[in-house]
Amino acid sequence: MKQVLSVSTGFFHPPFAARRIVDRVLTAVARIQLSHARSLNSIGGLDMSRFAALVLYYHREHLALDALEAFERFVQNGGGVLAIHSATASFKGQTRYFDILGGEFAGHGPVEPFTIEPALAEDPLFGGIGAFSVTDELYIHDLRPDMTVHFTATYAGEPQPIVWTRTVGRGRVCYVVPGHRTATMRQPQMQEILRRGVKWIIGD
């Protein structure tokens, strides 16, 4: 059984009901036991060696130095990270945090429909999940270069990464853009992306 710590908080952003859906989806994944924390700052005082991965779904402003250093050690030593939506809009100015996630929030348009399309002809991780549409915030990011983009959506005529994966040290990171609205997290394709993403970050 792999221990996964879900660090999540928010009533409107992210929505409480959306966070509950993510919990249900991940709890149902075989060989995962989910624990919960409300702030990434709490990991500075935890024994992180007992966790295989973190799930980050929050919108926060402040990250303590000891928590940032614990986060870096955790990933470098083989811990996985599944980050959702506003995780990349949190902790502005913390370059080391974004160096792990692979992208830093730069802006978004209005909440509107957009189509999420597979980016790879053959995708060993997310293959079989076809194009689908959501009504959500399409985040634009300042990106780190070393990532694999699995899904994109078009914004202002340009493809934007929607789901990406990357490795940091011995750790694995998966980031998913949508998550502003509860209806988005109810979609079967989104839930399948979350299931496969968490399996990948724990090495299953």
pLDDT at 204 (0 to 100): 81
- Return the structure tokens found at 165: 């994966």
Over residues 1-21, the pLDDT tens digits come to 999 999 999 999 999 999 999
- β-pairing, 139-143 with 80-84? unpaired
- The total of structural domains in the chain comes to 1
CA pair distance 165, 200, nearest whole angstrom: 9
pTM of the model: 0.97
Can you tell me the distance from the alpha carbon of 35 to that of 181, in angstroms, rounded to the nearest whole number?
Answer: 23
- Mapped onto helix, strand or coil, the DSSP state of residue 9 is coil
Q: Which residue has the tokens 């009901």?
A: 17
**Where in the sequence is the domain holding 34, given as residue range(s)?**
2-201
Residue with tokens 């990250």: 63
Length of the chain: 204
Residue 100 has pLDDT above 90, yes or no: yes
CATH number assigned to the domain comprising residue 114 = 3.40.50.880
